[in-house]
Chain A
Amino acid sequence: MEVSIYPGCSLEGLAKSYMESVEAVSKTLGIELRELANWTCCGSASAHVMNDDLAVALAARNLGIAEKAGMDLVVPCAACYQRLKVAEKHLRQGKPVEGLPVKYEGSFQIRTMPDFFWENVGEKALIEKVKNPLQELNPVCYYGCLTSRPPKITDAKNPEDPQEMDRVLRSLGANVKNWSFKADCCGGDLTLTRPDLHMKLTQRILDMAIEAGADCIAVACPMCHENLDSKQAEISQETGRTYNIPIFYFTELMGLAFGDPAAEKWLSRHTVDPLPLLREKGLLEMQVRR
């Protein structure tokens, strides 16, 4: 199976482990990812705040490239996904784009990473590749805001209670916990502009995950990962409660289940060290044994 991929800026920097794990598990599953030629930033959270036309045009440019490539488009970053979907809806209505002649027919679908693995690749293909079932692991899946909301843009089937990531990880053997904070907000870029508020939102998500009995959190968004992973020491200091819960890109967990030897490299970039948990659950020894 061949698909286009729009990596987005974070996957070249902060979220390198997301990109590498997406590439690795896709390869294992026999999927050929074709990076959009000469893609540029989708406008992210900043363009729509400052200028509506800019926000649509920056995203639409990339849809023009995807149209030429002629394949469905997977988008690992939640924010990029939503911005590209906003442009898709704009173009589908036949509205013009400021400063950009795009030829767009909408012959392809835009998918989030969890949707793609669950719906296009499917349970059977996933199970076939499992070498180390994630049995002992108790993750909650955190989808964040922008893969689901607003549903009239994202076409999410269950915007308040998304399921795809849960299903992917369950099919790999993980004991995925239910919780009601799947799509709550982590504070986004308030992490830089109002760190005090951001910390409150993040703490609440960590608290709720722990209360649900999770020993780790799986995410599908660079911003969610950074926000949940990098501030735990600070939150611990501030509140006197110790937070040390590993945050995984769900594709890293897929890689672990598939026995990918590169997994340790991806995990070495995390702030909260996930290796003790994986060792305790016997998920690392399996790799070494192989």
Chain B
Amino acid sequence: MTVTELPRTVVPNPSFRKQVEEKSGEKITACYQCEKCTNGCPLAFAMDIVPHKLMRSVHFGLKDEVLNSDTIWICASCETCTTRCPNGIDIAHVMDSLRQISQAEGIKASQPQVPVFHKAFLASMKRFGRVHEGEMAAMYILKTGGLKGLMSMAGMAIDMFKKGKIKILPSRPNKQVRDIFRAAERKGK
């Protein structure tokens, strides 16, 4: 006797869709599954849930699958999907909203290095008002690859320094930028 895998039964639950629609301001229900987003997505080949399926998953309320997907962290925000969607859905912005919801709910990112990178970037911005690429990259590599990772990048860094592609001194901190961070962080809570 052969056992065939039965399709999973999904009981739609609108609460997640509503949460995403409210956060993003985008209408998920407008999606009619034309797949244009997926066909133009340069990273669909590496995603576990391709963009049009992700939209449908949000529609059905498959919260765990969506928030734990690789897709939301692999998307490069290239905006091809948003540009081409015949229903005007800003899919790239939906991706942002999903990342933010997953972070706010304390879910461990399936590609943990991605939020680590963005946090290192924002930390540099908050500290200096402008991003110091050398410092930011060093922080990121230290956090993901440890000291060993940092040492392995040293050769490249020296080469870039010699070519004058690394700024010597970071900028001066900017009070307004810190205020912006404070306000956004407060509201984000």
- Contact check, B163 vs A268: say whether CB atoms are below 8 A apart: yes
Q: Which of A13, A61, A192 contacts B167 (CB 8 A)?
A: A13
A269 at the interface (CB under 8 A from B): yes
Q: How large is the interface on A (under 10, 10 to 19, 20 to 34, 35 or more residues)?
A: 35 or more
Of the stretches A24-32, A43-51, A67-75, A119-127, the one at the interface is A43-51
Q: Which of A43, A46, A187, A269 contacts B164 (CB 8 A)?
A: A269
Known: A12-B130, A159-B83. A46 touches B118 (CB 8 A): yes
- Contact check, B42 vs A184: say whether CB atoms are below 8 A apart: yes
Complex alpha-carbon distance, A200 and B43, angstroms: 10
Known: A50-B115, A54-B184. A12 touches B167 (CB 8 A): yes
Known: A9-B133, A100-B179, A150-B90. A38 touches B80 (CB 8 A): no
Chain A residue with the shortest CB-CB distance to B92: A150
B91 CB to nearest A CB, Å: 10
Which chain B positions have C-beta within 8 A of A12?
A: 130, 167
- Contact check, B122 vs A46: say whether CB atoms are below 8 A apart: yes
Which chain B positions have C-beta within 8 A of A148?
A: 83
- Contact check, A61 vs B176: say whether CB atoms are below 8 A apart: yes
- Contact check, A100 vs B180: say whether CB atoms are below 8 A apart: yes
Which chain A positions have C-beta within 8 A of B122?
A: 46-47, 50, 54
Which chain A positions have C-beta within 8 A of B114?
A: 193
Q: Which of B92, B99, B100, B113 contacts A193 (CB 8 A)?
A: B113
A235 CB to nearest B CB, Å: 16
Q: Which of B73, B115, B129, B180 contacts A54 (CB 8 A)?
A: B180
A38, A48, A159: most-surrounded residue (chain B CB, <10 A): A48
Complex alpha-carbon distance, A74 and B91, angstroms: 28
A105 at the interface (CB under 8 A from B): no
- Contact check, B133 vs A193: say whether CB atoms are below 8 A apart: no
Contact residues of B: prevailing secondary structure: helix
A18 CB to nearest B CB, Å: 11
A90 CB to nearest B CB, Å: 12
B164 CB to nearest A CB, Å: 6
Q: Which of B167, B174, B179 contacts A99 (CB 8 A)?
A: B179
Known: A16-B165, A61-B180, A197-B43. A149 touches B125 (CB 8 A): no
B46 at the interface (CB under 8 A from A): yes
Interface set, chain B 160-180, CB cutoff 8 A to A:
160, 163-167, 174, 176-177, 179-180
- Contact check, A50 vs B100: say whether CB atoms are below 8 A apart: yes
Complex alpha-carbon distance, A53 and B86, angstroms: 27
Complex alpha-carbon distance, A47 and B115, angstroms: 11
Chain A residue with the shortest CB-CB distance to B122: A46
- Taken residue by residue from 29 to 49, chain B's Cβ proximity to chain A (1 for < 8 Å, 0 otherwise) reads as 000000000000011011000
- Contact check, A50 vs B118: say whether CB atoms are below 8 A apart: yes
- Contact check, A52 vs B100: say whether CB atoms are below 8 A apart: yes
* Besides the known contacts A46-B117, A145-B76, A188-B78, 16 further A-B residue pairs in the complex with CB atoms under 8 A apart: A13-B132, A45-B118, A45-B121, A47-B125, A49-B96, A50-B119, A51-B185, A52-B100, A53-B188, A100-B180, A145-B77, A150-B82, A185-B43, A192-B137, A192-B140, A268-B163
